[in-house]
Amino acid sequence: MILERYVHDSPCIETFDLINRGAVWSCFSMSKTIERYQKREKEIGIGHKLAVDQDMQNEEEDAQSLAKKIESLEDCKQKLLGNGLEPCSVSELQQLENQLERSLSRIRDRKNQLFREQIKKLKEEERRLSEENAKLREQCGMQPLHSSTSIEEEEETTEVVTELFIGPPERRERL
């Protein structure tokens, strides 16, 4: 329950506390309240401005740091592409070469892995198609094909006769 009365032309509010069964009177002056509000607002504004300034400074430092990192990465990229190598020492060039060899090795390993996976899938597909072909031939009453006509024949070594000659060049007449 809230009651209102005036003391010295200032509004006072009586708040009745139901739990403690007592009344509390609060008197306030409107001008003092406004002054306290304005003072607090200034304090918050100054604190906020300092926080914003600190944030801006941190952001500028981060931006400068990122710009340096980008410049360093661009320089490294150019060196890996073979550009701008003139100021490099022999040891720096050796490090670049080693890095490129490791990278190339990883690229080749990954490429070979993908090729092996692709070959495995293709062999599975070949086996599946051979089985399907055998079933279809059986349904049509045809003789099944022998599986020896596939990859095994391709792996056999064949000899080729050429006109290659080992030794010093001689004049030969062609027939």
Distances (CA, A) of 149 to 67, 118, 133, 144, 155: 63, 22, 14, 12, 11
Q: How far apart are CA 36 and CA 44, in angstroms?
A: 12
Q: 35 and 45 in contact (C-beta within 8 Å)?
A: no
The reported pLDDT for the residue numbered 62 is 93
Which segments of the chain does DSSP mark as H helices, in order? Answer: 30-80, 90-140, 151-155
Tell me the pTM: 0.45
Residue 1: per-residue pLDDT? 42
Contact 109, 117 (CB under 8 A): no
Q: What is the pLDDT of residue 50?
A: 75
Please give the pLDDT value at position 159. Answer: 72
pLDDT value for 6: 46
Residue stretches of the chain with pLDDT short of 70: 1-30, 47, 146-158, 160, 164-165, 169-175
The answer to whether residues 60 and 46 touch, using CB atoms and an 8 Å cutoff, is no
Residue 167, phi-psi category: left (phi > 0), alpha (psi -120 to 50), beta (remainder): left
